[in-house]
Chain A
Amino acid sequence: MTDKIIVKDLYKVFGDRPDQAMQMINDGIDKAEIFDKTGQTVGVCGASFTVREGEIFVVMGLSGSGKSTLVRLLNRLIEPTSGQVLYDGIDIAAMNDEELRNLRRRDMAMVFQSFALMPHLSVVDNAAFGLELAGVAEEERQERALHALDQVGLKAQANSYPDELSGGMQQRVGLARALANDPSVMLMDEAFSALDPLIRTEMQDELLVLQREHKRTIIFISHDLDEAMRIGDRIAIMEGGIVVQVGTPEEILNNPANDYVKSFFRGVDVSTILTAKDIAAKRQVTVIEREGVGLKTALNRLRNEDREYAYIVGDKLDFHGVISVDSLDAAIKSGANKLSAAFLPDIEPVSHDTQLSELIGTVAHAPCGVPVVGDDGKYMGVIKKANLLATLDREGDGANG
């Protein structure tokens, strides 16, 4: 994936003497002290990150952490104090007014928390608003606006006015207005935060569907971790104007950079975020099934290791089955000599990308740890009951216990 937006050392100082504040930042003085001494507020402090083409990049943080400022620095609704925003290698921060207008009209559309629709325009005219600004001819912009409304399921309401619509529908219009310009980058500032939880989830799903059909680069601002985890390919976490961590949801969940990041995950439903591979552990006895390894060899190994179960894999680590001391005994008594004769019948491996919430039942009913396999059937480890319970009950500690 190529890099779509590269943010380098981006700063925003609110106040009338930003130079002085920048000087103090360079001297290593912290935000609070700068505010005390000069009355200048540092909104965004040295943000650097890269957004890849086609990904949903979520910027998360509590209110006041500078995330809404950060997203406005990207399309310069707020002027950066210093730093660079490279869009396909071109510095947005250095563009003149006309270049900036063209960028906003063609390449970067925005969706707002408060919808910010034009109350005097019908739904279709709202959707066509960006096209109208760009000087697209009447007929074409109607057509493109209707197509965008169709994408968000609002074609039937094209001639209504915004205040006749519910909040969720209004935000669909906001989304359609952004889509109509066919931008390659969409900035979404807490776009779903004003909606009630059910509609919010629905809109998130819809966004993911849209994203599947047509990959755009989306920068999504949110204060809601569940939302970030659901839709984010990668997440940046902001605290006090500073980007403290950037990574995939799993990376951040498993290795939080500091207590602030960790605190986000308290109370988060990890069962919908983590998948089988995240907690599969390879500490069980594995026996490679090959010439010369018989039932007795396996039994001996289990007795030596003082374990009840062993996991049988092929020479390419592909999963074959599970055996237990009892099943081995029974197989030996019946005179069989192949390992497969001792396989426990009820144990089915689970796929590595199964969500924890979906495998609670499987793990609870299995006599032994449940084996996890990759897409290619490769053995990836085992999930034991204790293991799963500890993860679900976690207080922000590492999951691979």
Chain B
Amino acid sequence: MFPEKLNVPLGKWVNRFVDWLVVNYGDGFEAFADSLLTVLVWLEHILRGTPWWIMVIAIAVIGFHASRSWKIAAGLAIAMIAIGTLGLWDKAMQTLALMIVATSLSVIIGVPVGIAMALSNRLRAVMLPILDTMQTMPSFVYLIPALMLFGLGKVPAILATVIYAAPPVIRLTDLGIRLVDREVLEASRSFGASRRQILWKVQLPLALPNIMAGINQTTMMSISMVVIASMIGARGLGERVLMGIQRLDVGAGMEAGIAIVLLAVVFDRIGQAYGKRSQRSPLAEDKS
């Protein structure tokens, strides 16, 4: 037995800290939550208000724009129609809204953090264990404090999703920038590039394929997290999965599960196609 005297009451400390946060900064968190909610509700309203066939066409057009392939565009349209035929169109739109907001937030936070990590070894040393924690910590552990700070509903779901889904885009942005050829950097310096020019004209364009791969991964992870987040009151497809489990209704769970997979496939194909197009040169394609 490990001597009890040496136990560190970490749990108590965290509880106290969360309580303190709620008491002192509750209002601030609520204001932040409200603004996030406004965006989400607005987006959800648009997605659910759009006629289904316009959405299907829109997805097909985006698919074609990304891949320049009619086959992929048609496949994506069929996948969207399949979701509709399962009777889950409305739920899927709710999930989609949640996913878009969570992914956008992840990218908005993740890309600059990744850039900063690539430029500073010290920040990288600090960030790597934090990213590991974000990815391995069981999600319920932070779902609950999020619940306490923001209340039940969509906002804690989005934040939990961001925590879980942001690491890939951060890591791959960092990696992509670090992989840029040293000689190319030296050449840009020799032609008088400032640090800002090097970042915008050399490092980011060359890191773009990796950043796109990171965004794609982040999208996938946020779709999977959205399901878990349904347990704290996020609506959408996850809600149906949860309901299926609770009522032992295997069929309903399966339907919702398939709809989630279809949604994931649609966004994966779009993301990958854009990723490929960002790799302008055939040489870079060989590496992938």
Complex formed: what's the CA distance from A110 to B186 in Å?
Answer: 10
Interface stretch of the complex, out of B113-121, B130-138, B279-287: B279-287
| Central interface residue in A106, A112, A133, by most chain B CB within 10 Å | A133
Q: In the complex, are the beta carbons of A120 and B183 less than 8 A apart?
A: no
Is B205 at the interface (CB under 8 A from chain A)? yes
Q: Is A293 an interface residue (CB 8 A)?
A: no
Q: How big is chain B's contact interface, by range?
A: 20 to 34
The verdict on A130 contacting B281 (CB below 8 Å), with A116-B186, A118-B184 known, is: no
A-B contacts, CB under 8 A, total: 73
Q: Is B190 a contact of A120 with CB atoms below 8 Å? A: no
A contact residues around B193 at 8 Å (CB) = 101, 133
- Assembly CA distance A101 to B195 (angstroms): 11
Q: Do B281 and A101 touch across chains, with their CB atoms under 8 A apart?
A: no
Partner of B191, one of A114, A119, A120, A181: A181
Q: Mark A131-142, 1 if CB is under 8 A from B, else 0.
A: 011100000000
Per the bound structure, the CA–CA distance linking A161 and B205 in Å amounts to 15
> Does B194 have its Cβ within 8 Å of any Cβ on chain A?
yes
CA of A129 to CA of B194, assembled, Å: 13
Complex CA gap A69/B150 in Å reads 58
- Assess the A104–B191 pair: CB atoms within 8 A: yes
Return A346 CB to nearest CB of chain B, in Å: 58
Contact B183 A129 (CB under 8 A): no
Residues 190 to 242 of chain B near chain A (Cβ within 8 Å):
190-194, 197, 201-202, 205-206, 208
CB distance from B45 to the nearest CB of A (A): 39
Closest approach, in angstroms, between the C-beta of B163 and any C-beta of chain A? 33
In the complex, the answer to whether A77 meets B181 with C-beta atoms within 8 Å is no
State whether the Cβ of B187 lies closer than 8 Å to any Cβ in chain A.
Answer: yes
User: 1/0 contact trace for B170-185 toward A, CB 8 Å?
Assistant: 0000000000010110
Q: 0/1 per residue, A343-365, Cβ < 8 Å to B?
A: 00000000000000000000000
Question: Does chain A have a CB within 8 A of B65?
Answer: no
A84 at the interface (CB under 8 A from B): no
Given contacts A120-B205, A133-B201, A163-B283, contact A101 B190 (CB under 8 A): no
Does any Cβ of A come within 8 Å of B189's Cβ?
A: yes
Q: Which residue of A lies closest to B184 (CB)?
A: A116
Known A133-B201, A163-B281: A109·B191 in contact at CB below 8 Å: yes
A119–B205 Cα distance when bound, in Å, is 10
**A110 near B190: Cβ-Cβ < 8 Å:** yes
B138-194 contacts to A (CB < 8 Å): 181, 183-184, 186-194
A119 B192 Cβ-Cβ under 8 A: no
Q: A120-B205, A163-B283 are in contact. Are A133 and B186 (CB under 8 A)?
A: no
With a cutoff of 8 Å between Cβ atoms, the chain B residues found around residue A275 in the complex are none
Given the known A-B contacts A120-B280, A120-B281, A163-B281, are A133 and B187 also in contact in the complex, defined by CB atoms under 8 Å? no
Q: Give the residue name and chain of the A residue nearest to B202 (CB).
A: A118
User: Contact at A75–B281, with CB atoms within 8 Å?
Assistant: no
Q: How far, in whole Å, are A60 and B190 apart by their CA atoms in the complex? A: 21
Q: List 21 A-B contacts (CB under 8 A).
A: A77-B186, A100-B192, A101-B193, A104-B190, A106-B192, A110-B187, A110-B190, A112-B187, A114-B183, A116-B181, A116-B186, A118-B184, A129-B188, A130-B191, A130-B192, A132-B201, A133-B193, A133-B194, A163-B282, A163-B283, A187-B190
4 cross-chain pairs, A with B, having the tightest CB-CB distances, nearest first: A104-B192, A105-B192, A116-B187, A130-B191
